[in-house]
Structure 1
Amino acid sequence: MSYEINGAIVKEQDLTFAVVAVKPHIFENDKEIQKARNAYRHVFPGIPIILMSQDSQGRATYSGKKNIVQFLATVDPRRIPWRRFIIS
C-alpha cells in the first residue's frame, strides 16, 4: 500500500531539513507529533523533520527544532519548495 505526503527538503544557511505538511489534529498533543515525526524518518533519514499545519485562514504552525521553527516563522509557506512524495 502506498500513500502521498506533501513535503519539502530545504537547504538554508548550511542546514538541511525536511518540512512535512500534516493535518491540524496532529498538533493536539505531543504524542501525536512524535508519532508523525517518527513515521517520516525513513523518508527523510538523517535530517531534522519539521511538521507544518495550516489553519483555515492559511496561517502556518510548525513543530520541530526551535531554530528551524523560528526561521520558518519568517517565511511565507508558499516559498517552501513543496512536492509530493509517494511512500510505498
Structure 2
Amino acid sequence: MPKLQAARVTQCGLDFAVVLVDPKLFMNKNDLEAFAEQAQSLFPGVPVALLSYDDLKVTRYHGPDEVVAFLKQIRAVSLPWVEYSLGE
C-alpha cells in the first residue's frame, strides 16, 4: 500500500487535513483531483488540502481556499506530520 505523509490540523477555527504530495502530481489536473479523492478517504468529513514543494522550494497547494490561505501563512514543517497508508 502506498505510504504518504499527512497532518490533521485544528487551528484558528479551522479543522482540516493536509497531505504532502510529489510536485509532479500538480502537472496533471485529473491525477491531482483523483489523488485528492483518495486522500479524502483517510479523513472523512474533514476538508483535505494537498501540498508539495520542489527542489527549488516552490510550494504548491490544492484544496479549499480558506485552508490554502492558512497554509500559505505557516511553515509546513511545524505541522504534526504522520505517515499513513492509503487503503487502510
TM above 0.5, yes or no, is yes
Are residues 1:78 and 2:71 paired? no
Mapped partners of 1:25, 1:59: distance in 2: 12
**Cα deviation digits, residues 9-61 of structure 1 (max 9, x gap):** 01012221010011111111321221011111221111111000111033321
The percent of aligned pairs where both chains have the same amino acid is 29
Residue aligning to 1:29: 28
Mapped partners of 1:48, 1:27: distance in 2: 19
Mapped partners of 1:83, 1:59: distance in 2: 22
For structure 1, the 5+ residue unaligned runs are: none
Q: State the one-letter code of the partner of 1:80.
A: L
Aligned-pair RMSD on alpha carbons?
Answer: 1.3
Mapped partners of 2:29, 2:50: distance in 1: 12
Mapped partners of 1:74, 1:41: distance in 2: 23
Check conservation: 1:60, 1:77, Cα contact below 8 A: no
Check conservation: 1:7, 1:19, Cα contact below 8 A: yes
Runs of 4+ in 1 over 2 A off after TM superposition: 57-60
Mapped partners of 1:86, 1:32: distance in 2: 18
For structure 2, the 5+ residue unaligned runs are: none
Give TM-score, length-normalised by structure 1: 0.88
Alignment partner of 1:19: what SS? strand
Mapped partners of 2:69, 2:10: distance in 1: 15
Residue aligning to 1:16: 15
